[in-house]
Structure formats: structure tokens, C-alpha cells
Structure 1
Amino acid sequence: MTQLRPTSGIRPTRRTVVLGSAAAAAGLLAASVPAHAATEAKKKAAENLQPYASYWFPDSLPAGSPGAGITWRSLKTWTPESDADLAYNRSTVPLAERFTPVAVSTTARAGQGRIASLVSFETTASNPSQGAATADYYALTHWAYIDELVFWGGSSGEGIVLAPNAPVVDAAHRNGVPVIGNIFLPPAAYGGQLQWTRDLVQQDALGRFPIAEKLVQVATAYGFDGWFVNAETGGGDPALAAQMLAFLKELKRLGEPHGLRVTWYDSMIKNGSVVWQDCLNAENQDFFQASDTMFLNFNWTPGDLSSSGALAQNLDRDRYQLWAGVDVEASGWNKSVNWEALFPSGGSHVTSLGFYRPEWTRNHLPADRTPGQFHAADDQFWTGTSLDPSRPSSGSWRAPATAVADRSTVTSLPFGCTFNTGHGLKWYEDGAARSDAAWNQLGLQDVLPGRRWVVRTTGNRPTVTLDFADAWRGGSSVLVDGTLSAPVVIELHATRLPLSADTVVSLAQRAVSGSVQVELGVALREPSEAGAPLTYSFLSAGTPGTGWTTADVRLSSLGTGTIHGLAVRLTGSGAVKWRLGGLLVQDAEESVATPTGLKVDKASGDGQFRLSWQGASGRVRQYELHRVLADGTRRYLTGTCANAAYVKGLAAEQGEREIRFEVRSVGELYSTSAAVSTTHPW
């Protein structure tokens, strides 16, 4: 049978992938240290102030000592008050509600099978809490097809309970996707100890489950949505299985008032043995009944899925609460999958789908991969070779967009999108680079168009990509590149936005080369059936020049109602390169309050800083931290949705006696507040 594997630790995995070097995992601004500063730094034993994603053992720790860079912790003794990194790991973005628009193709089904994704974003230990100074990152953007994200990780050499870090949760929540942490009880071959299973399910003298209580406390303090329970350590017996079942029931009971969910992996069965069933049956159904969903092991057959779905319904459960596992870690879209057993072309979906390690789209690329190469691979994985969900691809790989209807969270004003993917080669503000350092911080990712890219034209189809060579804000923009022989409509967001006489849509755009007329498309109703196109009303957005400009398009001529879709129509002749850097929708001016109380909480002798502040009142999308130089130049350092930030690699400029920091609030339309500042002596 196949088992889920650890991502790192004392045992080898099936593949070896270097997810990040010490240099790549360094802070958010890399700067060389002058010789005099380096000499001074040697005099000071600098403490490592870098906050990392949290990981624990349930109670008892392994024998011996942890490896370099690893800290062994007991979850049983954890408290929010003692967690020095909590401010950096707490997600502050609430889980958004989402809706399902009419499917863009006749093959994508709504209300049936869904998709869970088990992703290892980094190693278990040394995973930075708030991003790092590299653009080489699994910056997942196809949230529209995902129903649950498991923050996969854990190993016997580091820790087996892993909490998601805040950037992943913030990005997922904006798109309405819950994120759950991972409890990995490893097989003995990967260093698993049965004592850790017993630690997890222990009861105290009053009959309480202390680790279940801690798991709920962690999830609520950190702001994520539950736990994936993966019990693969063999040697158990019926008594241990009964204890595990009682633990699951208590974990679910304690978590329900907080909206937490529990997913069980097909591993332990009712006699306590670990025997992967590849289906739902009498051996594991009690664990399913104690959980919200269940991830079926990978070696299922058509009969397994059919009987599993039928049994779920007989238990008065939804068959789509079963995730049929598909392991794509090694081969990605080359994986041979019996799609007809799962998502039959001529009938209803049988169960839901559970991807294991789709970050293959990044990891299979060469070490010198670029963000553009990653997104090209990721788009093909989720959308198919057509790169257009309205034109489903044929072939052996049935991309999710061909089978599962997309979802959207774009339902309220103001709404802004700068097509920022959460990583980049530089950081841009108003079309100018404010930092030349590469970066990733998934929590800064925009709600991107879910249907990438629906392009309608009677002529040549241009290439449409998320591009990193230039941006209006963040690290990326939409680049349309091709020879236009007829008008081209590029669909953007599926929405349910209120339309009033005051509604204005602003487009930040530039024509890199060629001349192009731009129109904004606004759809006021949805199609009557799946696969039918939206009908747009088009309003002029001008003929942009070569520099970044903003065109404000007033929608008063369209009356009132609901906006169901936004698009752009490009008309030109010959070769055209056009960028879209921002799409902002509002019906009133945005006012953004200023944060207060910025302070340096801790500093080291080698240019590391921990800072915090009090959040601003009202609606704030994120906070951005800059360094202000003596000549008044502002240099971007990092952004976060939290009220605390960490930076490293900073050094004194010539003659600079103190460093000045500024923090600003950023609104949904990317308006910025006044700054609050503080200084710290070098």
C-alpha cells in the first residue's frame, strides 16, 4: 500500500528537493554589510530573531538531541502567552464566503466533486513565518478550484504536528478556502514511535483529551481552520483504535463552535492496525463518521470509489466528503489516473478528488526556474494545455478546470486587484520599483481571476500571462502579447458586485509596444446554461501610452443591478504588448486610517529587527514597512496582514547613526494611510 510521506527529517523521502537554501530563506531585504559594520557585528553574539512556522510533538520528545536549526517542542506545554512567534504566525484575514457562477464550460460541474490539496510549501523546520527574500516559491493561485488546503509536513526528526504559517492562510482565506494543519504519526520506517500516537490520544484524570484541547487552542489562536489526522504508525490494537476514535470525536466537538474541521486519512483501521483500505468500508467508517471529510489512499479502483460513495450515502453522509487520493508528487500531469472512475464524462462525479503534493509544478523545474516558468506549469496543471477553461483540453490529464466549476469571493465593494501573485523579482508601487530584492509573501496575493484565461476572438489569440518584468503594484501584472487581427475579449473576474450610479472601475494600464484601444466589459447577467458566454456591455478605457496610466470608467450609463463579470476588450492591429496592472471597483472614496505605536521590539547586532504596532481602525488590507534614508528615499522592506514584522540584512548607510522605519495601512483599493514612524540607533 502507499503511504503519505514526511517532507523532511531524519529519514529520506522518495525524492530529494532543495526547497530553499539559507540564503534564500534569509529575510525580506538582502543587503551587504560594510566592513566596519561587519567588524562590529563580530563583537556581538547576534541572536537569530527569525520567526518560523510552528511545529511540535504531542507530548514526549524523541531521545537524543535535535539537528541543527531544529527545536523540539511539546504541544502539551504550549500556551499562546509563551509563544514568542505568535504575532508573526497569526492569520488575520477572515474566511471569505464564495459563490459558484454558471460554469464556463459544459464539462465543469457545480455542486458535485470538489478538490482538496495537500501541499508542502517548505521544510517543517526553518519555514519563515512571513515570507523570504526569494521569488522561488510555490505561489499557488488557482484557489477557485480548491475546497480545502492541507498544510502538509512534519517528520520524526523535527516535529509531527505542523501549524500553517500566516501567509498561506491569509491568501487562502481571501479566496474562501479553509486551511488545516497536519498531524503526522509516521510509519516506523520514517522514525514513527507508537508512543506519539498514545500521547496524542491521552486522557487526563478527568477524562479530558488535553492534546485535543491544545489543537483547538492553536487553531483559534493562529487563525486557521482545523486538522488533518494521519495515523500511520503501526503496532496498535483495538484499544488504541477506540481511543483514537474518542479523540477524533472530542477534537470535532471542541472545534465545531469555532468552525474548525477534521479530515481523516485512510490509514488506521478499527483493530488499531495500519492497513490502507483505498476506500470507505466497515474497517474505517467509524473514523469517517467522527470527521468532516476523509482522504482515501491512492490505490483505489472504480469499484472502490463506487462502493465508497454508496456507503457514505447509506451513512447519511455526502459522497463528496470523500477525497479520492491522487499522488502527483513525482509525475504531475503525467500521472496515470482513471478519471472516468472518479469524474465520469457521462454521469455525476463519484467522489471528490484529493491531490497529494501538486507543488510538483514548481519542483520538477530546473533549479534556476523563474516565477514565469512556474506559473506556466501551474496553469497547465490546473487549466489544461488549452490554457483556457472555456475550451477544455483533451488528453490523458483531466485538468481540474475541465471537471470542477470555479468559485469566486468577489461580492462586495470596494474591490481591488493588482494581479499580484504573492512573489516577485522586485516590489513596485505606482509603477516604480521600491525594492530591487526578490521576495515572496503569499499573504499579499490578490484575489486573482479564477478563470485564467478565457479569451474570445474571431482572430489570432494572443498570449495572456501573469508577468514579472513590470508591475503597477506588487510584483506582477497581466501581459497580453500577440498580433491582433480582430478584437480580443479577455475575461477577468466572475463577480456579484452591486452596481449603482456611483460605481467606477479604474484600470491601471500601459501599452508596452503597439497601439491598442481598450474597453472595459461589464456583464449584468449570467448565462442561462453552462458553457454559454457572458454578454458584456463595453465602455471606453482609452488608448494608453507607454507609461503607466489610470483610466476611470464610470458605469452610470448601465443603470443599477448586479455586476456578474468584468472583462477587457482590446482592439488594434499588428503586434501589441499591453499590460494591465490594476482593476479597482468602487462606489465611494476610500479612507484608510493610520496605524499607531510603531516600535522596535528587538534588534540584533547584525541587522535583524522585530517590529510591532497597533492596527488601524476600519478596513485594512495589509500593512507595508519601509525604511526611510537620510535623503528621504523610501525603500520597501516587507508587507504583512499582521501587526508585527521581521526584517534582516539591514546595515547602516554612510554616516547614519539610526535607522528610521515607517509603517502604513493599505486599503482594498491600495490607497495608503499616513505613516507612523520610529527610529532605532545602530
Structure 2
Amino acid sequence: MADQSSTDSAVAVAHGTAAIARREVVLAGLGLLSSASLAAVLGGGRDSEVAAAGTEAVAAIERRPPGAGSVSPGAVSGAAPILPMLPGSTADAFARLMAYDPAADPDAAYFRSAVPLAPRIAPFAATQAHPRLDPRAGAATLATTNRTIAPDAPDVWRAVRHATTPAGGVQVARRLGVHDIVVQWGGTGIVPNPALTDAAHRNGALCLGTIWQPDARLFDGSVVPVERVAEKLVALARYFGFDGYFVNHELGSAQAKAQVAGLMAAMHAVARRARVAPFHLQHYDGHGDLRDLFAPDASGAPAADTVMIDQGWSGYNGPGGCCTSWPADPATLAAGASAFQRTPADVFFGLQLYPGPGFIGAAAPRVISPDGGSGREGGTAGGGLQLYSVDDGCLNLWRARQAGRGAAFLDAAADVATVERLVYSGQTQNPALSNAPSAAQQAVYDSGRLSWGDTTLYRLSEWATTDGTLARFSPDQADLPITYGVANFIAERSVIGAAPFATHFNEGEGQAFFVEGRRVSDTAWFNLGIQDVLPTWQWWRAPFEGLTDRAAEAPGLLEVGLDQAIAYDGGSSLRVYGLLGVGAATRVHLFKTDIAVAGATAVELVTLARAADRARTRLGLIFADRPDRPEWLPLPPGWPAAGEGGWTLSRLDLGRFSGRRMASILLGFEPGDGGAAPLDLRVGRFAITGEELVSLAPPRGLRLDRRVTDAATGAIGLGLRWEDDGRFDVFRVDAQGGARRWLGRIDGRCFYAPAALPAGTESAIIEVQAIGDGRRGGAARLRV
């Protein structure tokens, strides 16, 4: 895989050498062990003593009360929180790791993920966009969080949880829910960006940190027993809320490979003893031989839970070619995996997508039959797909198009979010269509294919790695058209299995922020961690009546998308618009669900539209017992929703469907009696409610943790803490009229606002309000 050193250095520079130096000073005196004990461990120790001390260390982190380890504001004035264990330091990384104690680090609590891993619903083929796809085939990704979009701007936001959006913007992933495994790749070191963990967990995906090209001292026992290293790594995952590690160890000797397997086995043993679950290890070694990747531990069980096979594994290669390994064909994968007590679902084929996401269309059909077609009965897969890195691929492809250096197939006006949607939903941006390459597109794929004996290779250049030199083969990866999307190979996933469920279609970034329709901030912002569960399909559109024709998109349908101009809560809303006439009657599949309807179950929509447009809108429900026939319900007139902006709340009671299971939710649009007319409807909130909900109490123990003055601007940052878990909005309250200015949203017990107060402010009122399930609760105030 590509060297991450340049990326890591950029992140270190972003925080400044002074900040890194401060952390090194702090870390020098920290440790799960005393200084004397640490010296003893670095010199070796008896295994029984090490195991006992390390297990105690894992538990000790959890026993400390919230706020333990924090210091008075004056002691940390001038220092904003920094994500722990960042690469790029001049200190010995191994020594830093072994000495690090998050409970004694005043910054650590600001980077904990508190969002639990959401359970996913069972597959249901009848409501899949492609019913023949085998849902056992998984998807995984190596995600590079918050990449800077502007080509000449510093790429320095990867370790930042939330911030004001820089000029040109940053990337915010919108399709994490497609994946079973999300790996933090590049920029943060071992600990993932907590925003990535929050978003992955909300969508039911595991989030893994990366152990990249590990220092031999981590696994060879030469300085610290391997069990002690394992305990340290498990303790970090437990404290910061992520789910394990992607272990990337390349070019090692046979002995080193066995020792890495021993480290993974030790981590699993520690996690079991400490009851840390889930705890997942994925293994990649740059080669892909299952005999190495699934190397057994002393008990004979494989040390890794899943593995990533390099793209050369089954005969398709990325730029420059790579390697082939055993077994050499996806058809033999089941036998190869079973030899190590694993199944094909535990093996992911790595597809390198930078700078050409179109490589999915060229390579993925060799692993999984598109759309569950006739290549394999029922669309059975030879393994899963691991996409590295979607973020890099989308951004580099967009930059290639903007610079006129390839990607001529891409609309010049397309933004990075559109490129991402193409990658996941296919060239039509409709995941229910076939998206198959045309003859001309297939010819482009084939022009980069070379045969070498029985092996087929792709030899393609990577212009993004040539430092601006226009030295390209034909075709370049940037010229590979996007045809098939991930949706043509991987069945959709969903976490919507019970009421209450609510979404405001918040993308995790915006040009402003809204609360109950009120604009409470005019500042552009990003925070992937507060992204809502977004629609399952983006965008499955079809004629209102009849089945989806997967061969071609129907002409004249309404447009649908997420829009940041106006929102009800957050930074965006769902918008459906266009000319609605007889030929444009449209249905939009939104959410895959598995909800048992009870007498109290209801659906609530908060919409912004003319009364005539709401009258043409239908809520569609597909039930598991009749998946071929949606139940269409007209929207009632409704009443003014809370807040401002003219939003309307409509409630539809579903008691008459009690006892049935709701498998899918749609919106439908039918023309009125007056013929074709423009329609423009926004949905600012969609919720499925159940029994009466309890009130949300204000956070207890709200206190000021730090007050930081920016030396350049004079703006004052505030670090705040409280005692309760949950989701919270943070506001600055105008002392004159009581108006609230939004500072941020967080899931957890602490929040840092880097520019909470204008320069020179001596005193202000801060409010922290509890929110949940689309509702707003009590608030606590603090004068700072």
C-alpha cells in the first residue's frame, strides 16, 4: 500500500510543532505504570506479572469517573485538545505508546466515541435494489476522513473532529452505511478520528484503527512482552470506543509474520478476558496469501477475523501490477477459507481506487456477478469488496477532471459528493439500475488489460503520484469510466429495526445550521460524527406505478437529493422537485426497514412546501407479507411545526397495520387534477414513533474545563464537560436578547469550541441542551 508518511507529516504540521512538543512533554510523565514499573517492563518481566498488570490497566481506565485526569482551566490555557498518539512526532513512537494513559491525558476525553454500534436488520431480498444479490458478500473501506478538497490547500483536517469549513471544503463520507468494516486510513495513527467512529457505529459498521507497518518491538517481545503490547492496544480501543485494528504488516520475514499473528492472538485473548466486544482484527500483508493472512495461533484458530486480499490475488492488478497468491481463483476461495475455519464472507478483495474509482467496473465483476446475474446462481459471491480509498479516488478523479487531465466522462460541474454517489450508485446515480458498461466503456476497460500466461493484468498509470508531471499511459486510471457502482455488487444494509427512529437528513456538513427551522449559525461547518442515518438508496427513483426497469432509467422523473440551502435541524434537508405531470409520477425508495408495527406506531414528516404540493405527496409503505404492493397514504394537511420557517408537521397513524412488519418506506408523487405543475418539496424531519417517550434531562455537572485564546485572532476557545452520556447542542446565549448562536453538536460528555467567544470577551453564557430521537430536551447554562 501507499506510504502514509507524507500524509502523517501534514497532519502533524496542522497542529503545529509547539502543540506536538507540548504533548511529548505531557506524555513523558504518563503511563499505565509508574516510572519505576515502566522501566522494569522495558527491561523485561515475568509473563504472569505482565499479564496481571496489563489486565488491571484495561480495567483501570474504565473505573475512572468522567472528568478524571482533567486539570484546571488555567493549567491548560492556550492549548486546544489534540487527538492522542498522532504520528509525526520526533519521539520514539513505541515508547510513546507504552507510556500513554488516556485517563491521565487531559485531551483524551475530547476524542472518545460514545455512539454505540447499532444492530443491523436481517436481509430481505424482496426489497433489495437487486433481489438476486447474495447479502453475505460484504463491503469494507479504508477511509481517509476530512480530506481537504481544494488542490493547493493544506490537507490538515484528518485528525480534527469538527471545525469551521475551510475554503473549498473538506470531504464528508455519505455512504458509510454500505460497509460492514470502516478502517481509519491515514492521518491519525492508531486511534481513529472519533467522528468516523460515531458515523460508522450509527450505521452499524465496525470502525478499526490502523497498525501500519508495525515497529518490530510491538510483536517480537524484545523489549516488552507481547501480552503487554496487546493489553495496551485493547485498552486504547476500549477507552476511545473503536472496535479493533486493521493490521497492515508488509514485507516481513516468515518469523515476523508468525510473531504478528501472535500479537493478534494475544489481543483477542486480552479482549475476551476484559469482555471487550466487539473486538475485530483485519489483516493485510501486501501479498494476500491466505496461509499468511489467516495464520493460526497456538490453539490452531486463525488470529485474524477477516482479511484483505490484495488486488493481484485473482488475476486483476492495479497500476504497475502487484502480486498473485494462493488460492489463485475466487472459485476456490471457499475451500481455501474453510481450511482456516473461515468462510468467503471473511475475505475481502482489495480494490485500489485512487485515482480511478472506475476500476470497480473493470475488476469487481471478477469477484461478484453484477446485480446477482447469471454468472453465479443467485449472485453468490466469491468474497467481499474492500475499497481503498474511496475518499482518495473520488477527490483525485474530481481534481483530474478540473485540471483537464482525464476523466472526460465526468460532468465538469460535478462536485466531489456527486463523484462519491457515482461510485456507490453507479453511472446513472440510481442503485436499482444495472449500470452495465456500454460497448465503448468496456473497450476502455479492455484497453488497459494485458495477458500474461493465464493471468490478466491491468497496467495503468497513476497521474496523481507523479508530482504534476504529465507522464501517462493510455488509459490512465483517471480515464476508466464509472459504470457499475458498489450497489451492483453489495446488497444494501440498514439499522432501522425499531421505533423510535428519526432523521433530519443532516449530511454532517453545511453552509449554516438550523434548529427547528431557525438559522442559529451562518458559519459553514463540518462534523461527520453528527451525520444522521441517511436514505438507504441514493437515489432509487422509478415510475409511481409498476416495477423498476433496471435496463434504463425512466425519463422525466422528479429530481431528488440532499440540499444545504434550507434545513429544519442540522445543515441539510431532503428535496424533491421538478415538473410533475402524468408522465412524471414518481416514487422514491428511501429507507430499508424491519419494524413490527404496533397500535401506537406512527410516521411523522416535517415538510416545507405549498399545500398543493403536499396534497400530491404520498407516504409509501412496503410490508414483508406483500412486498410487491406498496400501501400509499396521502399526507394529512398537518399543522405548523415547532420553530420558524413555515414548516408543516404531518402525522400518519399506522395502527390499522398493527401486527405487520414494515420492510421499506417510500415517498410517492402523483399529479393533481389540473395537469402538469412544478413541485418543490423539502422534508426536514422523518420519524417513526412508538410509545410515549420520556423527557430528556439537561446534562448534570456542566463545567468549564479550559479557556484558550488564539494568539493570532484573539478568539477564545472553550472546553466544556458534563456528567451524562447522550447527544447535545452547545450554544452561546446573547445576554441582551437571549438569542442563541450554535457552537456545535456532540455525542459524549465533553466538547471543545475553538472560537466560542469573540476576541476580548470577558464573560458569556453557554447553554448545553440535550437532544435525541429528533426531540429537544432540557438545557443547562454556565457563565464562563
Output the TM-score relative to the length of structure 2.
0.71
Task: Select which of 321, 331, 342 maps to 1:317.
Answer: 342
Q: Does 1:199 align with 2:217?
A: yes
Mapped contact 2:543–2:587 kept (Cα < 8 A): yes
Q: Which moved more, 1:630-639 or 1:292-301?
A: 292-301
| 1:204–1:210 Cα contact (<8 Å) kept | no
In structure 1, give the amino acid aligned to 2:655: S
Deviation at 1:340, TM superposition (A): 3.0
Query: Which of 181, 185, 191 is the equivalent residue of 1:163?
Result: 191
Distance 2:779 2:83 in 1: 29
Residue 612 of structure 1 corresponds to: 721
- Paired residues for 1:275-424 under 5 Å: 276=287, 278-281=288-291, 285-286=295-296, 289-302=302-315, 303-333=328-358, 337-344=362-369, 345=373, 346-347=375-376, 348-359=380-391, 360-365=393-398, 373-395=415-437, 397-424=483-510
Shift of 1:145: 2.1
Matched, 1:676 2:780: yes
Per-residue displacement from partner, 1:374-433 (whole Å, max 9, x unpaired)?
A: 322211110112222222311153211112111111112211110011111110111121
Contact 1:594 1:675 (8 Å CA) reproduced: yes
Is 1:649 aligned to residue 745 of structure 2? no
Tell me, yes or no, if the aligned pair for 1:518 and 1:568 is still in contact at 8 Å. no
* 2:633 paired residue number: 538
Residues 48 and 295 of structure 1, relative CA distance in 2, 3 Å threshold? farther
- Residue of structure 2 in register with 1:29 after alignment: none
**Residues 53, 534 of structure 1: alpha-carbon distance in 2 compared, 3 angstrom cutoff:** farther
Partner of 1:77: 99
2:455 maps to 1:431: no
1:628 maps to what in 2? 733
AA aligned opposite 1:629: D
Aligned partner (choices 108, 133, 150) of residue 164 of structure 2: 133
User: Paired residue for 1:640?
Assistant: 746
The match for 2:665 is 566
Pair 376,456 (structure 1): closer, same or farther in 2 beyond 3 Å: same
Separation of aligned partners in 2, 1:117 and 1:523: 32
Aligned to 1:182: 210
Residue in structure 1 matched with residue 184 of structure 2 by the alignment: 151
Residue type of the partner of 1:244?
V
Query: Does 2:704 match 1:600?
Result: yes
Note the C-alpha offset of 1:285. Answer: 4.6
1:248 is matched with 264
In structure 1, what is the equivalent of residue 232 of structure 2? 214
Q: Deviations over 1:319-340 (max 9, x none)?
A: 1211111000211225663333
Pair 327,361 (structure 1): closer, same or farther in 2 beyond 3 Å: same
- 1:401/1:21 Cα in 2 relative to 1: closer, same or farther (>3 Å)? same
The alignment's TM-score, normalised by the length of structure 1, stands at 0.81
CA distance in 2, matches of 1:602, 1:434: 24
| Paired AA for residue 280 in structure 1 | L
Alignment correspondent of 1:523: 621
Q: 8 Å contact 1:513–1:576 — kept in the other structure?
A: no
CA distance in 2, matches of 1:649, 1:105: 45
**Partner SS, residue 137 of structure 1:** coil
CA–CA distance in 2 between the matches of 1:418 and 1:377? 23
**Could you tell me how far apart the structure 1 residues matched to 2:293 and 2:756 are?**
57
**2:745 alignment partner, SS class:** strand
Which residue of structure 2 lines up, in the alignment, with residue 15 of structure 1?
Answer: none
Question: Are the structure 2 counterparts of residues 516 and 623 from structure 1 closer, same or farther at C-alpha, using a change threshold of 3 Å?
Answer: closer
Tell me whether 211-220 or 342-351 shows the greater mean CA deviation: 342-351
Could you say what secondary structure the match of 1:541 adopts?
coil
The amino acid of 1:380's aligned partner reads L
Question: Greater share of helix residues, 1 or 2?
Answer: 2
- More moved, 241-250 vs 441-450: 241-250
Identity of aligned residues (%): 23
Distance 1:497 1:491 in 2: 16
Q: Deviations over 1:299-348 (max 9, x none)?
A: 23354433444311233310121111100021122566333321134212
Whole-Å separation in 2 of the counterparts to 1:455 and 1:336: 22
Which moved further from structure 2: 474-483 or 394-403? 394-403
Contact 2:364 2:385 survives alignment (8 Å): no
Inter-CA distance 242–504: structure 2 relative to 1 (3 Å threshold): closer
Shift of 1:139: 2.0
1:88 aligns with 2:107: no
Kindly indicate whether residue 557 of structure 2 is the aligned counterpart of residue 461 of structure 1: yes
Listed one character per residue, the Cα deviations across residues 28-55 of structure 1 (whole Å, up to 9, x for unaligned) are xxxxxxxxxxxxxxxx999543323333
Counterpart-to-counterpart distance in 1, 2:594 and 2:306: 29
Contact 1:105/1:392 (CA < 8 Å) preserved in 2? no
Indicate the residue corresponding to 2:458 in structure 1. Answer: none
Deviation, 1:11, is 8.3
1:598 is displaced (CA, Å) by 1.2
CA distance in 2, matches of 1:470, 1:19: 36
- Secondary structure of 1:252's counterpart equals helix
Question: Are the aligned partners of 2:573 and 2:684 in contact in 1 as well (CA < 8 Å)?
Answer: yes
2:690 pairs with 1:580: no
- Aligned 8 A contact 2:302 2:341 in 1: no
TM-superposition CA deviations, 1:66-109 (whole Å, max 9, x none): 9xxxx997111111222222211111111111022325234652
- Which whole-Å CA distance do the structure 1 matches of 2:412 and 2:107 have between them? 31
Change (3 A) 1:527 1:357: farther
Which residue of the partner structure matches residue 244 of structure 2? 226
CA distance in 2 between partners of 1:653 and 1:219 (Å): 38
- Kept in 1, the 8 Å contact 2:513–2:569? The answer is yes
Given residue 101 of structure 1, which amino acid in structure 2 is its aligned partner? F
CA distance in 2, matches of 1:438, 1:370: 24
Question: 1:543, 1:248 → 2: CA distance?
Answer: 57
Once the two structures are superposed, residues 125-168 of structure 1 have per-residue CA deviations (whole angstroms, 9 ceiling, x without a partner) of 864443111172332222332110010125xxxx8x42112211
Give CA deviations for 1:513-571 in whole Å, capped at 9, x if unaligned: 9845244435352377xxx7552232333399993211122223434432222222223
Cα distance between partner residues in 1 of 2:489 and 2:629: 20
Q: Distance in 2 between matches of 1:87 and 1:310?
A: 46
Asked if structure 1 preserves the Cα contact closer than 8 Å seen for 2:620 and 2:668, the reply is: no
In 2, the alpha carbon distance for the partners of 1:484 and 1:507 equals: 21
Q: Tell me which amino acid in the other structure corresponds to 2:312.
A: N
Deviations 1:354-376 (A, max 9, x none): 11110122454359999982322
Q: SS at 1:338's partner residue?
A: helix
Aligned to 1:550: 649
Residues 474 and 533 of structure 1: CA distance in aligned 2, closer, same or farther (over 3 Å)? farther
Does structure 2 conserve the Cα–Cα contact (< 8 Å) formed by 1:512 and 1:579? no
What's the counterpart of residue 3 of structure 2?
5
Would you say 1:511 and 2:620 are equivalent positions?
Answer: no
**Residues 489-516 of structure 1 deviation map (CA, whole Å, 9 limit, x = unaligned):** 2222111223222222111111279845
Between 543-552 and 564-573, report the one with greater CA deviation: 543-552
Distance 1:574 1:126, change over 3 A: closer
Query: What secondary structure sits across from 2:670 in the alignment?
Result: strand
Q: Distance in 2 between matches of 1:575 and 1:125?
A: 44
Could you tell me which runs of 5 or more consecutive residues in structure 1 were left unpaired when the two chains were aligned: 13-17, 24-43, 186-195, 268-275
CA contact (8 A) 2:624 2:661 kept: no
Change (3 A) 1:665 1:80: same
Deviation of 1:182 (Å): 0.2
Classify the secondary structure of the residue corresponding to 1:673.
strand
Alpha-carbon RMSD across the aligned residues, in angstroms, is 3.5
Contact 1:329-1:357 within 8 A present in 2 as well: yes
Residues in 2 aligned to 1:472 and 1:116: alpha-carbon distance in whole angstroms: 32
Matches within 5 A, 1:253-264: 253-256=269-272, 257-258=275-276, 259-264=278-283
Distance 1:338 1:515, change over 3 A: closer
One-letter identity of the residue aligned with 1:323? F
Unaligned runs of 5+ in 2: 17-73, 148-154, 316-327, 404-410, 443-482, 545-554
